[in-house]
Amino acid sequence: MDWRGQYPTPPLPSPANRPASHDAVLAFAWTTGEFTATEAMQATGLTRSTAIDALDALTRLGLLRELPNARLAGDYRKGRPARRFALRDDAAVLVGVDAGHVHLTAVVTDLRSRPLATYRATQVLDEDDAAARSALIAAGVDRALSDAGRTRGDVLAITVGVPAPVNVHGRSPRHPTGFWERMNPDLVEALGWAPIAHVENDASLAAVAEGTVGAAIGCRDYIALLAGARLGAGVVVDGVLLRGRHGGVGEMVAFDHVEGVGSAAGLGERAELLAAEAVADGTAAGSALAAVEPDRLDARAVLELASQGDEAARTIAEQVGAVLARIVSVLGSMFDPQRVVISGGISAGVEDVVAAARRLLPTDLDLPAPELVVSPLGADVVVTGAVAAASAAARARALDVWPLADAGS
């Protein structure tokens, strides 16, 4: 089913002269279930005739469907039966992608962001070049669409998150080693087949997810800290996601120069390194850490042992917590957030680290220390944010692209 070609009715007016009532009614329909024309009129403040004109136009276009009236549905009422409508949530699909350095996750949803299919893959690092990465992402999207029984022609909006700064045009600046260019190999061009396509920094999408369905709902000043292998931050101030000219807000290379932090290595990477050192120098002798196979001594294993009370593992959690406290203190001084959310896969077992950081947060700062909380969204936080961003873009721009595409442009 291709939403761009299945409705042969005349297109709606162009954005320049389209009645604002169309946008108002569509926005209402997108956030509600079944509704009557009267409810649409009351919610939008439109007159009855204007609301009905908009409902009819959106129904002709295929964005809304008219449902059986109350009498036909068996809910008898006296007088004229009310006309009932609903968003046609299967009219198109949204796609969210987390294109990480190693892992790829692509999710296809209906227009209400209900998942239809998920595809996961792993990138082979020795094939970490721009062309191979772009092909892997494209193949992942196509596979997810196929699993959902859809094609590229059904996509209204797609958002891809990458581990690189991304400017407002979806492009990343040059990196000394070329890493950012490999992570974002002109994806905004590669996604040109979609009516609405965005490329975003992965930590920024984590912030979108936390503010939409995560640990920062209702919060206007917060930071989502992706802290697994490398540090990255999505920063929201006064309800606005900050970006910067090159998309570099939240890049953490500055921590290379912060005493007590020393690098942009994430909490997971630090836990693994400290555990390996403790085993190598004998500090972990007698600890369960020493019994873990070296190739399995990752952050998850260390933090799980810490939660079980292993003394050597708990010491590592305290050490990592001290680093986190310093990171949060610096971010607190720079951005004055109400809350810092530890996001990403590391959040699943990081409670001991966060508890240590809370105890160690400095009390001698001029500003109050921010709240430090753990995300409930786990490893899928970036793709969750990508879907949320695709949904927001679709709601804002659906009527800008739908009639143009329907007209064959």
Q: What is the mean pLDDT of residues 280-296?
A: 91
Domains of the chain listed by start with CATH number = 20-87 (1.10.10.10), 93-214+382-406 (3.30.420.40), 222-376 (3.30.420.40)
Q: Please report, for residues 37, 133, 234, 300, the alpha-carbon distance to residue 282 in angstroms, rounded to integers and kept in the order given.
A: 74, 41, 39, 21
Q: How far is CA 393 from CA 55, 203, 310, 328, 385, in A?
A: 21, 18, 47, 31, 12
> What's residue 282's pLDDT?
92
- pLDDT for the residue numbered 386: 98
Q: Over the stretch 110-153, which tens digit does the pLDDT of each residue have?
A: 999 999 999 999 877 655 688 889 999 999 999 999 999 999 99
Q: Check the CA dihedral 176-179-185-187 and report its sign.
A: negative
pLDDT tens across 181-231, in order?
A: 999 999 999 999 999 999 999 999 999 999 999 999 999 999 999 988 899
User: How large is the average pLDDT for residues 6-25?
Assistant: 65
Distance in angstroms (rounded) separating the CA atoms of residues 249 and 207: 12
Is the pLDDT score of 367 beyond 90? Answer: no
Q: What is the pLDDT of residues 83-104, one digit of tens each?
A: 999 999 999 999 999 999 989 9
CB 222 within 8 A of CB 182: no
Residue 407 has pLDDT above 50, yes or no: no
pTM comes to: 0.90
Residues 21 and 109 sit within 8 Å (Cβ to Cβ): no
For residue 71, the SS3 value is coil
- What pLDDT does 4 receive? 39
CA–CA dist 187, 85 (Å, integer):
37
How far apart (Å, rounded) are the C-alpha atoms in residues 149 and 168?
Answer: 32
Q: Distance between alpha carbon 122 and the CA centroid of its chain, in Å?
A: 19
Confidence (pLDDT) at 3: 33
- Inform me whether the pLDDT recorded for 404 exceeds 80: no
* Phi and psi, residue 292, nearest 5°: -80, 135
